[in-house]
Structure 1
Amino acid sequence: MNALTLRPGTTVLFKRGSRCTGTFAPRGAGAAGAPIRIGAYGSGARPVIDGNGAPDAVLLQNTQWIELRDLEVTNAASPGGNRRGVHVRLSDYGTGRHYVLQNLYVHDVWGDDTKSTSGSDGILFSVVGDVRASAFDDVRVTGNTVKGVNRGGIRLVVSEWEQRPQVGSTGPVTKPWTANTRIVVAGNQVYDVGGDGIVILTARNALVEHNRIDGFQRRSAGYNAGMWPWNSDGTTFRYNEVSGGETTRDGMAFDVDQGTDTTVFEYNYSHDNAGGFVLLCNATGRVANAVVRYNVSQNDVFRGVEMCSGGIESAHVYNNTIYVGPGRSMTVINENTTAPHHVRFDNNIVVKAGDGTANLRLQPGTAVSPTHNTFVNVSGVESNPGGSTADPLLVAPGTGAAGYRLRAGSPATGAGTVISDNGGRDFYGNRVPRDRAPNIGAYEGRGVG
């Protein structure tokens, strides 16, 4: 197949139960209304593409209008080298359009500990070149399973055309920021990754939803989180579940990283992460208009919300429910910076149960001023106007995402402060009012009997 030039409308089907060794790198491109479709036929197990230690098992380079489905992809031979499972790459191409990766099983991609345009990932989209700015438009990565990879699970788009002041670029701009657009990463399962789970880079208005990550930052010597954006604007992460983050480098479920504007984390469930819940991380660039709302964190440890060394232009953390069970400890707010940072922390429930500790670590003259929060067994709370230390009467804390509704008679009912642009719904799908006081925490429905 590598010797052919595929034409628009071509279908390439591998026989189920078969195994092909080496790099599958088709040439040619589809066209609008006539994509190239690559998949499987027959009955039985998915066809296997085994990279056998090559840099890429599947390489889709300088192509567009292409769809890849129903294959098993692996690349385990000679572990430790620089390699990928599926790599989609543009080089001096301009804008490439329409890419679908669906129902793939990508596993045992044992690469090294690098992340770059040629880093080691299960699924990687990258842009390189020195002459012509390039970018992806209309990318759908849906319904895939990525398991047992080093370093990252799903990473897109790592681009050399990334320079702008928001990400800390200094000196002359030779490759200006060129946004990758209409990106959707949905319904994927990512297990046992050495570093990051799902990362969005150099993108505008990407959507990451209904994904499951379990087991990340397991083997990397660097800093990795469950899912996060970098150098991207308008990224929304919603309805995801993230667990099993290891180490405190970073090891938390979510991260609003440097060079980002209008990042939203909403309706996500985070639990059992060694690094904690969420990081607001800027060093020398910009983080602005970040929103973390209506999420549930259960038994994450070490830190709840942490700031990195740089300033935060604006971030609002509100109506989340954080539960820290027996034998676990957390610094609920960790101001790890003296740089100016404007972070609001409102309408959140934080409950510490049993042994262990929970506390706020705020700098003198703090920039974070909590209001209308419920803090139960949390120390270091110097001021919390409109807030409470009363038991919020959670239905079944510590038992999973369904356990954080409020029981009838909860003092958290209708006790929050009004936030007009609140997304319109809570973690459970209930409508959130815009013109009257909401509940505190991630649940807005009526009290449960």
Structure 2
Amino acid sequence: MTVYYVNSATGSDGNSGTGLKSAFATLSKVESLKLKPGDSVLLAKGSVFNEQLDIKVSGSEGAPIKFGSYGTGAAPVIHGTGDGIHSLYATNIVIENIKISNVGGAAIYAGNVSNWTVRNVEVDKSGVSGKSGSVTFRTGENITIENSKIANVHGDGVWIEKVNGVKFLNNTVTNSHGTAADGVQMNDSSNILIHGNHIDQTGAASPKGVLTLIRPVNAVVEDNVLTGGGFGISAQAGKTVTIRDNDISGFKGYDWSFAVALGETGTAKDYDISGNHIHDGAWGVVVTAPIGSPSYARTNINVHNNTFDDLSGAALKVDRPASGSFHDNTIEAGTTATNISPAIQDAHTFPVSNNHTVANVEAATLAAADATAATTTEAAADPAVSAVHDSLKILTDTGAAHHGNLLENDSSDNGTLVLRHFDGETVGKNGLTLTGEYGNIHVERDGSYAYTLDETKLPAHDNGHVSENFSYGIDDGTSHHSDTDALTVYVHLDDLLK
């Protein structure tokens, strides 16, 4: 297993590449190597490579080939007139800790590949030649994209097609531009997990949608923040699809805009849509199809335990033959509960029951969260290091910091928890201060945080309704690192910008 170093500033392609002082200079030199399973190619931080990286070799399942970075400073950057990284038929590849910016084509394009992991990769302004700037995987299996940031690309932010085994975890995708561009689109894929992401189309030019799944099989979409776009989640023609515990808002711009929709492009079966907060948009959950479209089956569509507020349309719309139920949902006063066609009502195939109306969803949600936190505090510790998502809701602001603790609802086997990493940075003994999209946050190793909103950063067109995500990692003080969790800050200041 060999480690090769590449430094665009001080390296030379005449070097051996196997030492810090004998680094290569170019990616083309790397392509000439006969890399073997377990080998690594590390790009020097601060380096800039004006060329495409072609990956034509494969690792093995237990020894992938890794492409990453070394040193200190800014992540190494790949940009050029073609794709950033291009590969066909390669297997067992890891790409991590690099930046791909201002490339003419796709940031990453891989076809007929398997067992790829893309982590801690930043993509910015790809597709500048007018071609799609997506992180693209076409045909393959076992693709993981995690803890990465994708912003301001031309075309879909992420495009997955015909892949069995997709994990899309804890990523941020912002402003995928183009009349046909979605934040994330996955077609004809199966065994999908989409978890912990923040996908935001609020500032996209000609925004289409946030998340599109076409013909998904065995898909779970959970704990994501989905903002803006013409629609939130379009999950068409799927089988066994779970959409739960997401925050979906800002879906507007068209009279048909929706938070979640299915039923348009094929048979849909066994959907569980639950625990979502759907707000500040047009329609909620929609089961529909264009007039004159084929008669597809829509069976066992279970919509329950969601919260709906600030919708111009109904929380549920069903205007095509379907079976399922709408029950135990919370609906804010002033939002229409259902819009179900008379024919479906007469058929009794989509019963409505046990839903309740509240005067103020935010107040009810905060009260429930307080009750849950109290219960969690009193519960016995989980016998493993584990973390639970945190959220901060800012409904009023006086300019003072908003305080909380990330570790209050987390647990470990020895009763000791330490915040080690926050949004990719190490939390030192003096804590860590970061500038977010809408404010500044300071965190300490004991999990305490203080978030100060910067009202000058709030976009006027959102009327004070925005959100941002921070990821973090904990351990029990003995290097047993937990899964990455997230803090989501919701800002809902209705009168701020009026």
CA shift digits 1:75-112 (9 cap, x unpaired) = 355xxxxx31111211xxxxx54211000001102368
1:108 to 1:393, Cα distance in 2 relative to 1, 3 A = closer
Cα distance in 2 between the residues matched to 1:262 and 1:29: 33
3-state SS of paired residue (1:152): coil
1:282 lines up with 2:264 in the alignment: yes
1:4 corresponds in structure 2 to: 33
**Does 2:141 match 1:144?**
no
1:392, distance to aligned residue in structure 2 (A): 6.4
**2:330 is aligned with 1:346:** no
Cα offset, 1:122, TM superposition: 2.5
Deviation per CA, 1:380-439, whole angstroms, max 9, x where unpaired? Answer: xxxxxxxxxxx3664526xxxx5373899xxxxxxxxxxxxxxxx9999x9xxxxxxxxx
In 2 relative to 1, CA 426–266 (structure 1 residues): closer, same or farther, beyond 3 Å? farther
User: Does residue 154 in structure 1 map to residue 158 in structure 2?
Assistant: yes
**Which residue number corresponds to residue 135 of structure 2?**
123
- 1:373–1:145 Cα change, 3 Å: same
Distance of aligned partners of 1:426 and 1:86 in 2 relative to their CA distance in 1, 3 Å threshold? closer
Report the secondary structure of 2:201's partner residue.
strand
TM-score by length of 2: 0.61
Q: Percent identity, aligned pairs only?
A: 20
Task: After the TM superposition, list the runs of 4 or more consecutive aligned residues in structure 1 that deviate by more than 6 angstroms.
Answer: 425-428
SS in 1 for 2:107: strand
Q: Any conservation in 2 of the 1:191–1:213 contact (CA below 8 Å)? A: yes
> Deviations along 1:322-379, whole A, 9 cap, x unmatched?
111xxx6223222343xx21131111111145xxx636332122253311112x4xxx
> For the Cα contact (< 8 Å) 1:287–1:312, is it kept in 2?
yes
Task: Say if 1:196 and 1:225, in contact at 8 Å, map to a contact too.
Answer: yes
Q: Which of 82, 88, 93 in structure 1 is aligned with 2:110?
A: 88
CA contact (8 A) 1:256 1:290 kept: no
Counterpart CA distance in 1 for 2:69 and 2:194 is 27
Matches within 5 A, 1:98-137: 98-110=115-127, 120-127=132-139, 135-136=140-141
SS at match of 1:368: coil
Mapped contact 1:183–1:206 kept (Cα < 8 A): yes
Matched residues in 2 for 1:292 and 1:256: separation?
11
* Alpha-carbon distance in 1 for matches of 2:193, 2:70: 31
Distance between the aligned counterparts of 2:154 and 2:367, measured in 1? 35
Distance in structure 2 (CA, Å) of the matches to 1:313 and 1:125? 31
Report the CA distance between 1:225 and its aligned residue.
2.8
Go from structure 1 to structure 2 and tell me whether the alpha carbon gap of 1:13 and 1:287 turns closer, same or farther (over 3 Å shift).
same
Mapped contact 2:55–2:90 kept (Cα < 8 A): no
**Does 2:91 align with 1:71?**
no
**1:261 equivalent in structure 2:** 239
CA RMSD of aligned residues (A): 2.8
> The residue matched to 2:209 in structure 1 has which SS?
coil
Aligned length: 330
Match of 1:396 in 2: 363
Q: What amino acid is the match of 1:155?
A: W
Change (3 A) 1:35 1:406: closer
CA distance in 2, matches of 1:111, 1:281: 35
Is the 1:5–1:26 Cα contact (8 Å) retained in structure 2?
A: no
Distance of aligned partners of 1:24 and 1:44 in 2 relative to their CA distance in 1, 3 Å threshold: same
1:333 is aligned to 2:316: yes
In the TM superposition, what are the counterparts of 1:250-329 in structure 2 within 5 Å?
251-258=230-237, 260-274=238-252, 275-283=257-265, 285-299=266-280, 301-309=281-289, 310-324=296-310, 329=312
Instruction: Give the partner amino acid of 1:124.
Output: T
Whether the 8 Å CA contact 1:294–1:426 is kept in 2: the answer is no
Structure whose residues are more often helix by fraction: 2
Distance in 1 between residues matched to 2:389 and 2:63, nearest whole Å: 41
Query: Is the aligned partner of 1:196 residue 2:182?
Result: yes
1:16, 1:44 within 8 Å by CA — same for their partners in 2? yes
What is the deviation of 1:213?
Answer: 0.9
- For residues 106-157 of structure 1, give each alpha carbon's deviation from its aligned partner in whole angstroms, at most 9, with x where no partner exists: 11023688xxxxx724311012xxxxxxx32x3221000000012111222x
Greater relative contact order (Cα < 8 A, sep 6+): 1
The reply to whether residue 236 of structure 1 matches residue 220 of structure 2 is yes
